[in-house]
Amino acid sequence: MHSGLVNPIDLAADGRQAGHLAIPYSVDRSPYYQIRIPILRLKNGAGPSLLLMAGNHGDEYEGELQLGRLMRLLDVSKIRGAVTILPMANLPAVMAAKRCSPFDGGNLNRAFPGDPAGTPTVRLAHFLEHTLFPAHDAVLDLHSGGTSMAHLACTLIERQADSARFERSVALMRAMGAAHAFIADNGPAAPTSMGAAGRAGTIGLSGEFGGGGTVTPESMAFTAAAIDRLLMALGIADAPVLSREALLPPPALQLLSLSRHSQGIYADRRGWFEPAVPLGARVAAGDLAGRYHDLERLEQPEEELRFAEGGIVISHRLHTDSQAGDCLIQVAEPISG
């Protein structure tokens, strides 16, 4: 079945190919409009293949900027195998500076395995899972905390039933050089890009590379180093491409687990959140997590919020103004092995 997506890239051809994935989507101002998603393919003979993508959520910028830079810097003659780059996968969300697409409300990272006859976001998800992901040995999907969240820098993989693929995933995750990492266990039907990678039979790698709807020198350097380390670990490149300084030996990796609702604190009413601890802090159950203010009832003292579980603080809400249901702060459990 035709997916409603036009792909100009010949995945078997050597050389440099630049173009756009085109998703037809009729709108009021343009009945034959196409959503045009930039794509670059570099291939130099036989060898490992890597798909690099960012902009799965539109307000997560480290990956978008670094992959745009990589498109300009990477020389096909200097690689072995193939690299495909999608710097703005959910293009409408990127252009709108939103998490989800303004065209169909689609959250690409909840849209897999997609539908070839659906809205633009699910059509793209179908193409990625069924065409692009299976054509690569590994997929790196770069995320960050987005506009509303500060997130501890970390990498992530999904647990795999295929033991050989899982061991290779762990090795590549370690090679990326983060100080913290997750092994998620969302199951084979997960609607995420990492779930899709597993179903496609490829190695899925991801992570949170910054947050706050902005970039910093530290977050950009971390992202550049992770991409460079992965290219070299796969044997695609011999030297860093993006990193502006020499790569230092990676830190010891602390694995983390986030699997229980009790590891987060959620708002149960309208309020204004004040975090009490920074990202990366080690806390114990009962420690002060933050204070919840009520600016509509100034006579009321702020409520002290305390952690139900100990661990390492991995994220907190950046928007002080909060609504019932918002996640205010989370801790992850350090694990060994």
Confidence grade of residue 336 (pLDDT, cut at 50, 70, 90):
confident
Same structural domain for residues 272 and 238?
no
Same structural domain for residues 226 and 167?
yes
Same structural domain for residues 193 and 107?
yes
| 3 lies in some domain | no
| 4 lies in some domain | no
- pLDDT computed for residue 337 by the predictor: 65
CATH number for the domain that contains residue 93: 3.40.630.10
Cα–Cα distance for residue pair 328/326, rounded to 1 Å: 6
Q: What is the pTM of this model?
A: 0.95
Same structural domain for residues 210 and 270?
no
Confidence grade of residue 15 (pLDDT, cut at 50, 70, 90):
very high
Q: Into how many domains does the chain fold? A: 2
Q: Write the CA distances from 311 to 21, 170, 177, 264, 318, integer angstroms.
A: 43, 22, 21, 11, 20
Cβ–Cβ < 8 Å for 335, 255 = yes
CATH number for the domain that contains residue 296: 2.40.50.100
pLDDT digits (tens, 9 = 90+) for 280-291: 999 999 999 999
Encoded tokens for 171: 């090795």
322 is in which domain, residue-wise? 261-335
Confidence grade of residue 1 (pLDDT, cut at 50, 70, 90):
very low
Same structural domain for residues 323 and 208?
no
Domain boundary among 192, 223, 256: 256
The larger pLDDT score, comparing residue 1 to residue 302, is at 302
> Which SS3 state, helix, strand or coil, does residue 16 take?
strand
Same structural domain for residues 91 and 178?
yes
- DSSP output for 131-184: IIGGGSSEEEEEE---TTEEE--EEEEE--SSHHHHHHHHHHHHHTT-SEEEEE
pLDDT digits (tens, 9 = 90+) for 165-181: 999 999 999 999 999 99
Domain boundary among 228, 256, 284: 256
| 8 lies in some domain | no
| 2 lies in some domain | no
Same structural domain for residues 192 and 273?
no
Domain boundary among 191, 224, 256: 256
* Nearest 10 degrees: Cα torsion 322, 324, 328, 332: -160
Same structural domain for residues 202 and 69?
yes
Q: In percent, how much of the chain has pLDDT > 70?
A: 99
Helix (H) or strand (E) holding 35: strand 34-44
Same structural domain for residues 204 and 280?
no
What secondary structure, in 3-state letters, does 60-118 show?
Answer: CHHHHHHHHHHHHHCCHHHCCEEEEEECCCCHHHHHHCCCCCCCCCCCHHHCCCCCCCC
pLDDT digits (tens, 9 = 90+) for 320-330: 999 999 999 99
Cβ–Cβ < 8 Å for 172, 203 = yes
Encoded tokens for 301: 């003292």
Per-chain mean pLDDT for the chain = 96
Same structural domain for residues 219 and 281?
no
Same structural domain for residues 117 and 232?
yes
Same structural domain for residues 193 and 310?
no
